[in-house]
Structure 1
Amino acid sequence: MSDPTAEFFDGLGRRGHEPLLQEATGTIRFDLEHDHGIDHWLVTINNGDIQVSREDREADSVVRADKGLFDRIVSGGENLYAAWVRNELRAVGDIRLARFIQRVFPGPPGAHHPRMFASERRRQG
């Protein structure tokens, strides 16, 4: 059985450097709750250089959510921003880091990057 959350964090860790996080430095821990406990994922960012581990230690920012919801977010089936608004995703500590990390999450199915959308519109018009 596939684990979208593990796949997301494994892929993030393999990137090594993420230009979208070039301005970010700090640690963010994701605490994902499920029936059997809490899964911890620690993301360390140093000017876009990324490391991911399963450590449960202090972090500059901590994001808490239900693991099922998080699975849907990283699969593109649930909107990250909507989950924040509904308070299904909560962050404490350095909220700036939580906002930065949003840049690497997938958008909803069928979503286009704004520049790609504008380019397609120009070709059609």
Structure 2
Amino acid sequence: MSNPTANFFDALDRRGHEPLLEEAVGSIRFDLEHDHEVDHWLVVIRRGDVHVSREESEADCVFTGSRAVFDRIVTGRSHVYAAWVRNELRAEGDVRLGRFLQRVMPGPPGAHHPREFARREIRPA
């Protein structure tokens, strides 16, 4: 069975360096509950250099919620802030780090990047 959350974190770790996160320094841990267990994902960001592990160590920011909610977020069917407002995702610590991570979350299915959309629209016929 596919695990969108694991796929997201694996892909994020493979990036190594993410230009959208060059202003960020810190660590974010995600404690995601499912089937009476908790998966831990630790994202360490150092000026765009990203490393993801399954450690349950201390972090500057900790997000807690269900893996089902996070699956919806990483597939673009929900938004981090919307889940937070609905109390489906809770945060402790330096929540500003979540703002940085939001930059690499996928948009809704079928969405287009605004610049790519604009390029297609202004092409001469």
TM-score by length of 1: 0.90
Equivalent AA in structure 2 for residue 52 of structure 1: V
Task: Summarize the Cα distance change of 1:123–1:87 in structure 2 as closer, same or farther, 3 Å threshold.
Answer: farther
- Matched with 2:97 is 97
- Matched with 1:8 is 8
Deviation at 1:83, TM superposition (A): 1.6
Q: Which has the higher helix share?
A: 1
Deviation at 1:124, TM superposition (A): 8.5
Aligned residue pair count: 125
Deviation at 1:35, TM superposition (A): 2.4
Pair 1:114-2:114 in alignment? yes
The CA distance in 1 between the partners of 2:105 and 2:124, in whole Å, is: 28
What RMSD in Å do the two structures reach over aligned CA positions? 1.7
Three-state SS of the structure 1 residue aligned to 2:103 is: helix
Moved over 6 A (4+): none
Task: Summarize the Cα distance change of 1:124–1:91 in structure 2 as closer, same or farther, 3 Å threshold.
Answer: farther
102-111 or 113-122, larger mean C-alpha shift: 113-122
Q: Which runs of 5+ in 1 are unaligned?
A: none
Q: Percent identity?
A: 67
Deviation at 1:57, TM superposition (A): 1.0
Task: Summarize the Cα distance change of 1:122–1:13 in structure 2 as closer, same or farther, 3 Å threshold.
Answer: same
Q: Which runs of 5+ in 2 are unaligned?
A: none
Deviation at 1:18, TM superposition (A): 0.3
Task: Summarize the Cα distance change of 1:114–1:60 in structure 2 as closer, same or farther, 3 Å threshold.
Answer: same
- Matched with 2:43 is 43
Deviation at 1:84, TM superposition (A): 2.5
Three-state SS of the structure 2 residue aligned to 1:87 is: coil
The CA distance in 2 between the partners of 1:85 and 1:106, in whole Å, is: 19
1:65-76 counterparts in 2 under 5 A?
Answer: 65-76=65-76
TM-score by length of 2: 0.90
- Matched with 2:64 is 64
64-73 or 37-46, larger mean C-alpha shift: 64-73
Per-residue CA deviations over 1:15-74 (Å, capped at 9, x if unaligned) read 100000000011000010112221100000000001110000110000112101111211
The CA distance in 2 between the partners of 1:64 and 1:124, in whole Å, is: 49
Equivalent AA in structure 2 for residue 88 of structure 1: E
